[in-house]
Amino acid sequence: MSTATVPAKRRSFDYKKFLANNGALVGLVVLCIALFIATPDFLTAQNLLNIGIQVSTVAVLAFGMTFVIVAGGIDLSVGAVAALSAMSSGWMFASAGLPGWLALIGGLLVGTLAGTINGLANAYGKLPSFIATLAMLSVARGLTLVISDGRPIKMPAEVSFLGGNVGPVPMPIIILVLAALAASFLLNRTVIGRSMYAVGGNAEAARLSGLPVKRILVTVFALAGLFAALAGLLLAGRLDSAQPQAAAGYELDAIAAVVIGGASLAGGLGKISGTFVGALVLVVIRNGLNLLNVTSFWQQVVIGLVIALAVGIDVLRRKTRSS
C-alpha cells in the first residue's frame, strides 16, 4: 500500500511575533507618517539633520545603558556622569592647562572611572544597582557644580570639533554611527557581550558555569560610564561649553530608549539596533511636538506617558514568555 505524500503546510505570517520583535520600528514608521501628514516641515532635509544631531547624545548614552540593562542592572547616574565628564574636560583645559586632546581623553577617563565605581559598589559592595547609581547621580552632580562653581566652562577646540561638521555631515552623526558599530560589536561579537546576556538571564547559573560575574558587572558599568562621557562631550561640543546642568533627566530617556527598543528590565534581552530605534522614537516625538508648537510642559507629560507605556509593554512581554 503506497503512502501519499502530504504537501507541507504553508506557514502563515506571524504578525504577533513580528510586532513583538519589531514593534518599536513599526511605531517609528507610523509616527513619522503621522507627523508628515500633520506638518510639512517634518520631512525637510534640515529637520532630518536636526533629528540626527539631537538623537546622537540620547542614543550614545542609551548604548551604554543597554549593556547595563542586558546584564540585569540599571544605571540612574549616566546623565550626571555625562555632565561631570564634560565639565572635567573643560576644567582640565581651562584651569589645569592641559592640551585639548588630553583634556578630551581625561573627560572620557572620568566617565569610565565613575562607571567603574558604580560596578564595584554593585558587584563587590553588594549594593543594588539602583542604590549605587542613585548615589553616584548625586555625587556626580555635586562634583560638577563644585568644579564649575555653577558656571559654564569653555571647551577646547578638540571637543568643540565633536559638535561641528565634516563636509556636509554633522560630526555628532558620524560619532553616533561609530558608537553604534562599536557597541553592537561588543554586545554581539565578543565574549564580554555574550557574558552580559548570561549574567542578565541568570546570574547564579552564570556563576556556576564559571563566568566571573563580578568582573563582568564592573566592566558593564565601566562601559556605561565611558559611553556616558562620550555623550556628555558630544553635548558640550554642540554647545561649545560644559554646562553645570547638562544632560539633566537624560538617564530616563536612556532607559526608555532601551526598553522601547525591546530590552527587558529583568535582564538578558536587548540589542543595540533596538536601542537606536527607541532613541529615535523619543527624539522624533519631541521634534514633532516642537513643530506642532506644543509647549514644553505638555511635552514632558507625553514623554512620561511614553516611558510608562514602554515599561508596561515590557511587563506584558515577560508575562507572555512565562505563560
Residue ranges covered by each domain of the chain? 44-318
Successive 10-residue mean pLDDT values, the chain, 323 residues? 49 64 84 93 93 96 98 97 97 94 97 98 97 97 95 94 93 97 97 96 95 97 98 95 93 93 91 95 95 91 85 73 64
Cβ(77)–Cβ(136) below 8 Å = yes
pLDDT of residue 296: 87
| Annotation: CATH topology of 44-318 | ABC transporter involved in vitamin B12 uptake, BtuC (1.10.3470)
pLDDT of residue 323: 62
Output the CA–CA distances (angstroms, integers) from residue 252 to 26, 277, 300, in the order listed.
Answer: 22, 16, 12
Q: Give the global pTM.
A: 0.92
Range 123-130, long-range pairs (CB < 8 A, 24+ positions): 123/213, 123/214, 123/215, 123/217, 123/218, 124/214, 124/218, 129/68, 129/73, 129/74, 129/75, 129/221, 130/74, 130/76
Give the contacts of 106 (CB within 8 A, at least 6 positions apart).
88, 89, 92, 98
